[in-house]
Chain A
Amino acid sequence: DTAVSQTPKYLVTQMGNDKSIKCEQNLGHDTMYWYKQDSKKFLKIMFSYNNKELIINETVPNRFSPKSPDKAHLNLHINSLELGDSAVYFCASSQGPTGELFFGEGSRLTVL
């Protein structure tokens, strides 16, 4: 059983479209995250939820909207996609905000 699973693994889309990435964890963790990894492999936190409550919201365009329907799920919706949104998006979870992170395999978004 995959601990943190995210879908889809690959997304290729046109500028201006809207897309969603889904994430689920079966580890019983209470904290979930979205990270963006750019082409130079820099990792930047975007959002963090603890028990469905948003606790970290970095300087991210409001075209990005996370939604956590329950503790085990954290989805990411992106409106009006731009070329600069092309990256690999990682979902992760932890037990508490200082626990070690368990990462999904990533969703590679390519905006044409």
Chain B
Amino acid sequence: AQSVAQPEDQVNVAEGNPLTVKCTYSVSGNPYLFWYVQYPNRGLQFLLKYITGDNLVKGSYGFEAEFNKSQTSFHLKKPSALVSDSALYFCAATDSWGKLQFGAGTQVVVTP
């Protein structure tokens, strides 16, 4: 069975500084990896995904994520955080059967 770990409940960063949100996964076979963002009282929004190919994936709103097979990680990054990036971020993983497993979520707080 697949599992996803987001080791940080919350990440605090000053506006303009780089932002990293960590994710590790356990999937049998080739993983399909995703990042989603949730703003208060809203549904989740897709940011980016990795299926195959380049290890560095670029997504919406200037976010990117790096797939590292040996470390089974898929950390989300943004070079320069904005206050509007403050939200709840979810990493998710599945195998080819499509039963998507979400991490527990990481609250990102960007201070001006």
- A interface list, Cβ under 8 A from B: 4, 31, 40-45, 48, 55-56, 90, 92, 96-98, 100-106
Contact = CB atoms under 8 A, between A and B. Distances in A.
A45 B100 CA distance: 8
Interface stretch (B13-21, B65-73, B77-85, B91-99): B91-99
A106 B102 contact: no
Given A41-B88, A90-B43, A106-B43, A100 B98 contact: no
17 contacts: A4-B43, A40-B104, A41-B105, A42-B104, A43-B102, A45-B99, A92-B43, A97-B97, A97-B98, A98-B94, A98-B98, A100-B46, A100-B49, A101-B46, A103-B44, A105-B43, A106-B41
A81 B86 CA distance: 34
Given A42-B104, A101-B36, A96 B43 contact: no
From B32, B96, B100, B105, residue with most partner A Cβ within 10 Å: B100
A106 B94 contact: no
Nearest to A58: B99
B45 interface: yes
A41 B38 CA distance: 10
B42 A101 contact: no
A103 B43 contact: yes
B74 interface: no
A43 B43 contact: no
Contact of A100 (B34, B97, B105): B34
Nearest to A97: B98
A104 B43 CA distance: 6
A4 B46 CA distance: 13
